[in-house]
């Protein structure tokens, strides 16, 4: 009797787990009456088999998902740098011009409160086209973004931060590669470049490229190359073949404090088209360093000619009547390919010599 009492005491705890499951009577009735079962159990998702809705079921389901997505977007904050937000059929298209676009929806790992990435595309590129990620890299990057977004309260801030840093690294890698190609091509010794990293300068030609690791993240070695300095109009000493870079004008391309790519000229230059201070920028979707460099040279040349023009106007021996000194600007409308060119400007500086001799 004592042994039986002890056994019954310990068996009492085990009875909680020994109960028979509740049978899915509604599903059994549906199978018996209709011969089909439209809603497969959730556990079948683990083996990769998911039920699909027919055409009549898709429309109301998408309407509910669309309303749920809109309500979830009101609960989170979107970065101000996102240029386009488009909601359709239960998905959200987020786009940052010149950087990336991503298509997201709800349902990460079966949780309707978490975001899932459906498609990811980088918009950083050059004339040959945008940067292409391998399929394995794209999936790995998407999985890493989903995991990080699920662990924070501001998922889209995390999404933008990671992809923006990656795009900045890709932009600088493309800029360095193009400058190296110019040095090896027709520009040769006409320009020189220096890497700017942590306040130090590295001589041109030893630039390391940005690599994408197998898990989809940018290599830290590439992110440590934040800027580039391109020098032109090199001043060569007669006794040496090495240019004096201290007096050469340059244009600097580097990420600013807000991690936005900035293009700054070494001196104040005037845009011949607007007559105001020239502003330089990169089209990150079609990076062309040569075009940027030609525009910088054009503005610098116009500014120097304008200074000469003003000095000649003050010379009483030259200026005898209005129009004796003229600064003319001409713009070519099209190049050989028929495309509009906005950075080729031709100047002519003319004066009349009215001296008796």
The pLDDT of 98-105, averaged and rounded, is 94
Angle at 166 between CA 162 and CA 169, to 5 degrees: 145
Buried b or exposed e, range 52-67, using 16+ CB within 10 angstroms: eeeeeeeeeeeeebbe
Asked if pLDDT for residue 227 goes beyond 70, the answer is yes
Percent of the chain with pLDDT over 90: 38
Question: Which is higher by pLDDT, 192 or 257?
Answer: 192
Q: Which run of H or E residues covers position 172?
A: helix 155-184
**pLDDT, tens digit, for every residue of 102-130?**
999 998 888 888 999 999 999 999 988 89
Residue 218's pLDDT band, with cuts at 50, 70 and 90, is very low
Distance between CA atoms of residues 72 and 105, nearest Å: 10
Residue 186's pLDDT band, with cuts at 50, 70 and 90, is confident
């Amino acid at each position: 009797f004592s042994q039986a009492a002890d056994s019954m005491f310990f068996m009492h705890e085990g009875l909680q787990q020994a109960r028979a499951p509740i049978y899915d009577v509604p599903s059994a009735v549906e199978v018996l009456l209709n011969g089909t079962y439209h809603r497969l159990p959730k556990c079948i998702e683990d083996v990769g088999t998911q039920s699909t809705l027919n055409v009549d079921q898709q429309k109301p389901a998408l309407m509910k998902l669309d309303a749920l997505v809109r309500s979830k977007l009101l609960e989170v904050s979107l970065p101000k740098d996102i240029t386009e937000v488009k909601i359709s059929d239960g998905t959200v298209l987020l786009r940052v011009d010149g950087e990336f676009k991503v298509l997201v929806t709800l349902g990460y790992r079966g949780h309707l409160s978490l975001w899932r990435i459906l498609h990811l595309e980088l918009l950083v590129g050059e004339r040959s086209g945008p940067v292409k990620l391998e399929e394995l890299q794209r999936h790995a990057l998407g999985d890493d973004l989903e995991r990080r977004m699920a662990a924070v309260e501001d998922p889209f801030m995390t999404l933008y931060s990671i992809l923006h840093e990656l795009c900045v690294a890709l932009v600088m890698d493309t800029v360095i590669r193009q400058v190296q190609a110019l040095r090896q091509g027709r520009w040769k010794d006409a320009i020189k470049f220096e890497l700017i990293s942590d306040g130090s300068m590295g001589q041109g030609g030893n630039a390391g490229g940005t690599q994408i690791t197998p898990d989809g993240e940018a290599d830290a070695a590439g992110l440590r190359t934040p800027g580039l300095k391109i020098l032109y109009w090199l001043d060569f000493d007669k006794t040496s073949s090495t240019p004096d870079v201290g007096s050469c004008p340059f244009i600097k391309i580097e990420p600013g404090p807000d991690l936005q790519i900035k293009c700054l000229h070494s001196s104040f230059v005037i845009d011949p088209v607007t007559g105001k201070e020239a502003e330089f920028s990169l089209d990150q979707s079609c990076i062309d360093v040569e075009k940027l460099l030609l525009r910088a040279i054009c503005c610098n040349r116009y500014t120097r000619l304008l200074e000469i023009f003003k000095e000649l106007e003050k010379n009483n021996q030259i200026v005898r009547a209005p129009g004796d000194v003229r600064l003319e600007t001409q713009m070519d409308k099209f190049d050989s390919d028929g495309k509009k060119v906005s950075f080729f400007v031709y100047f002519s500086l003319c004066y009349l010599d009215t001296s008796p001799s």
